């Protein structure tokens, strides 16, 4: 018998990754995704690349906050409001530690909870949205029945029965009905005709100076209790106010009287339909201002421009508010109240969906036409129907206290993890991929002229940044001069486990990385075999020219491996190819 030699063929294959996806923290992930990373971007996707450098402004301090955008960028620092880089003279905020919220209404910037306004077209025009006047003790305050122009009804009779033998145009206040009615006698009809509208003139020195016609004001301290109520000012002068009402006879008092125009205390605010909207968790109520008038929240005249208030019946605190697609949305953690209509009475529709997580109200951001926010169990996208999760890529990692911004097609969100670390993530809506940038404590974002600004805090000091300084080249002059670009930073990307889907031992006999890089860029390649926790450096490179480079690396026999790519500077990786030689299962 002739024994023929057996030839064992090595099972070889070659695979190539030429399209890189993003961040993915699940246990099993595609081989073109990264289980961990830092400072990576989707700007050139599917090409792998680090993010662009940021700009850092010469603006810092422990009390820097309140970032906002109108025709220029603005913020509050040490109790002063800065707009287009300049302090607004005379406008200060006494409690410099309190966080501010801003609402834009036309040319006006509204500051809450201070309830201030600033005319951004005339920076000398600012003040309180509220107004209050109190007479001094001993000042005479008189109340008189009058016409709409303020002229007094000087002679009229009153009682439950009409006067006998009246003359034409005689006046009689009929007290037999409630409310009382002022009537005028007509000889032509021989009847008493109701005067439909009557008014009260309240006179005192400077009583009308702070108020405007059609302000909704509250009166307190009046000796006649029926006037301790809310009224709409019909006319005014410095020394008098005219309000709707009826009065048996004129009277005066010298005790103090207070006239006030108040705004409800609210938790969250937004603008929609030329009105300012807000909500109060304490009262479980939703409010809106008078049309075009953020100073008035108590005008209820039965007309289209009225202010509005409604109590909702859902449990829990409000967690955020935003105007979206012409509707106003007030979120709780387990529902959203959606406001329909253009004029009061508005319709409030309640949908029980994943709402905004408490403490993450700043995560509400619209990217293109889609609303994104941090819900109690993940990040969702919402277009008015049911929210859809986009955070499956985070695996079992848990985050909270989110703030967010947007730039181009991206959703930037900074959140706190269970180790109390603040981390910035970026979701590219157009490519449906996440990337992780770095551990940075961002407090707030503001989008201005297609540039994303943010305030970050480290060691108690806050600084103002530009998220992507590349966007500013050739477009920076005239906005917040005084900045510098951050230094080159380290970045890394760590793959998931390669090879777990193949039972055999294997050699990655040749790993080729095709890339381009700027001169003097750094690149280090590490391998970890069989999940032993040890990273072994397999390549250290300095890119000494701008252009295309191919790096070839060898690996020992293993069951599975991970690759970690670290670098500094501008590098773009186009592909990673690998030759696999399969061996036995032992």
Same domain, 42 and 71: no
Is 270 within the bounds of a domain? yes
Is 277 within the bounds of a domain? yes
Instruction: State the DSSP code for 357.
Output: P
Same domain, 272 and 392: yes
What mean pLDDT comes out for the span 189-207?
93
Structural domain total, the chain: 4
**Which of 128-164 are b and which e, b meaning 16 or more Cβ less than 10 Å from the residue's Cβ?**
ebebebebeeebebebbbbeeebeebeebebeeeeee
d(CA 445, CA 371): 16
Domain boundary among 261, 294, 311: 261
What is the predicted pLDDT for the residue at 133? 97
Same domain, 423 and 281: yes
Same domain, 64 and 42: no
Q: Are 52 and 43 in contact (CB under 8 A)?
A: yes
Is 157 within the bounds of a domain? yes
Same domain, 278 and 256: no
pLDDT digits (tens, 9 = 90+) for 22-39: 999 998 999 899 999 999
Residue 505 has pLDDT above 80, yes or no: no
Residue 303 structure tokens: 């007309």
Is 107 within the bounds of a domain? no
Beta-carbon-side half-sphere exposure of residue 354 (alpha carbons within 13 Å):
16
Distances (CA, A) of 328 to 103, 159, 278, 285, 584: 14, 51, 10, 14, 64
Is 27 within the bounds of a domain? yes
Domain boundary among 240, 261, 282: 261
Same domain, 545 and 570: yes
Residue 477 has pLDDT above 80, yes or no: no
Is 2 within the bounds of a domain? no
pLDDT digits (tens, 9 = 90+) for 337-366: 999 999 999 999 999 999 999 999 999 999
Same domain, 144 and 37: no
What is the predicted pLDDT for the residue at 312? 97
Q: Is pTM, for the whole model, over 0.75?
A: yes
What is the predicted pLDDT for the residue at 476? 43
Which CATH number characterizes residue 504's domain? 2.60.120.430
What mean pLDDT comes out for the span 132-157?
92
d(CA 576, CA 552): 10
* Enclosing H/E stretch for 220: strand 216-220
Same domain, 406 and 285: yes
Give the range of the structural domain holding residue 147, as residue numbers without chain letter: 132-261
Same domain, 242 and 323: no
Domain boundary among 203, 228, 261: 261
What is the predicted pLDDT for the residue at 190? 86
Residue 548 has pLDDT above 80, yes or no: no
What is the predicted pLDDT for the residue at 509? 65
pLDDT digits (tens, 9 = 90+) for 365-423: 999 999 999 999 999 999 999 999 999 999 999 999 999 999 999 999 999 999 999 99
Is 116 within the bounds of a domain? no
Same domain, 421 and 277: yes
Q: Which of 81-85, 139-143, 272-276, 476-480 has the lowest mean pLDDT?
A: 476-480
What mean pLDDT comes out for the span 234-258?
94
Is 118 within the bounds of a domain? no
Same domain, 451 and 384: no
Same domain, 48 and 58: no
Q: Is 84 exposed, middle or buried (0-12, 13-18, 19+ CB in 10 A)?
A: middle
Where does residue 375 fall: left (phi above 0), alpha (psi -120 to 50 degrees), or beta otherwise?
beta
């Amino acid at each position: 018998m002739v024994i023929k030699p057996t030839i064992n063929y090595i099972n070889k294959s070659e695979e190539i990754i030429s399209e890189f996806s993003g961040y993915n923290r699940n246990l099993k992930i595609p081989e073109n995704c990264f289980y961990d990373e830092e400072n990576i971007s989707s700007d050139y996707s599917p090409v792998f690349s680090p993010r662009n450098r940021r700009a850092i402004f010469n603006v810092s301090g422990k009390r820097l906050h309140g970032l906002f955008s109108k025709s220029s960028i603005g913020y509050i620092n040490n109790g002063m409001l800065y707009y287009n880089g300049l302090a607004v003279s005379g406008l200060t905020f006494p409690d410099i530690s309190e966080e501010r919220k801003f609402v834009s209404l036309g040319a006006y910037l509204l500051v809450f909870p201070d309830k201030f306004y600033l005319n951004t077209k005339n920076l000398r025009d600012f003040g309180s949205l509220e107004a209050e006047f109190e007479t001094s003790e001993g000042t005479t305050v008189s109340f008189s029945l009058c016409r709409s122009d303020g002229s007094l009804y000087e002679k009229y009779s009153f009682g439950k029965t009409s006067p006998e033998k009246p003359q034409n145009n005689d006046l009689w206040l009929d007290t037999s009905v409630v409310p009382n009615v002022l009537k005028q006698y007509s000889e032509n009809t021989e009847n008493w005709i109701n005067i439909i509208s009557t008014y009260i003139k309240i006179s005192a020195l400077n009583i009308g100076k702070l108020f405007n016609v059609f302000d909704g004001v509250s009166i307190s301290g009046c000796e006649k209790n029926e006037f301790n109520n809310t009224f709409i000012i019909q006319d005014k002068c410095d020394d008098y106010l005219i309000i709707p009402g009826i009065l048996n006879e004129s009277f005066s008092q010298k005790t103090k009287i207070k006239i006030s125009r108040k705004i409800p205390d609210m938790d969250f605010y937004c603008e929609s339909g030329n009105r300012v909207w807000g909500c109060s968790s304490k009262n479980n109520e939703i409010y809106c201002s008078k049309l075009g008038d953020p100073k008035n929240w108590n005008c209820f005249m039965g007309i289209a421009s009225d202010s509005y208030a409604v109590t909702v019946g859902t449990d829990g605190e409000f967690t955020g508010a935003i105007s979206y697609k012409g509707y106003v949305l007030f979120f709780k953690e387990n529902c959203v109240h959606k406001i329909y209509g253009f004029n009061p009475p508005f319709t409030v529709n309640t949908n029980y969906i994943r709402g905004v997580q408490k403490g993450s109200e700043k995560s509400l951001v619209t990217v293109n036409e889609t609303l994104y926010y941090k819900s109690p169990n993940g990040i969702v996208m919402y277009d008015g129907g049911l929210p859809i999760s986009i955070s499956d890529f985070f695996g079992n990692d848990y985050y909270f206290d989110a703030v967010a911004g947007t730039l181009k097609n991206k959703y930037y969100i900074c959140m706190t993890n269970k180790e109390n670390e603040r981390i910035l993530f970026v979701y590219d809506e157009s490519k449906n991929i996440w990337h992780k940038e770095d551990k940075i404590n961002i407090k707030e974002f503001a989008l201005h002229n297609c540039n994303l600004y943010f305030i970050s805090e480290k060691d108690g000091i806050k600084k103002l940044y530009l998220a992507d300084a590349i966007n500013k080249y050739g477009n920076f002059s005239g906005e917040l001069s005084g900045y510098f670009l951050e230094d080159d930073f380290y970045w890394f990307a760590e793959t998931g486990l390669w090879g777990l889907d193949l039972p055999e031992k294997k050699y990655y006999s040749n790993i080729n990385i095709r890339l381009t890089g700027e001169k003097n860029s750094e690149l280090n390649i590490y391998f970890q075999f069989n999940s032993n926790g040890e990273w072994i450096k397999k390549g250290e490179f300095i890119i000494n020219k701008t252009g295309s480079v191919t790096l070839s690396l060898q690996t020992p026999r293993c069951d599975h491996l991970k690759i970690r790519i670290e670098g500094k500077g501008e590098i773009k990786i186009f592909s990673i190819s690998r030759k696999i030689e399969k061996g036995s299962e032992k």
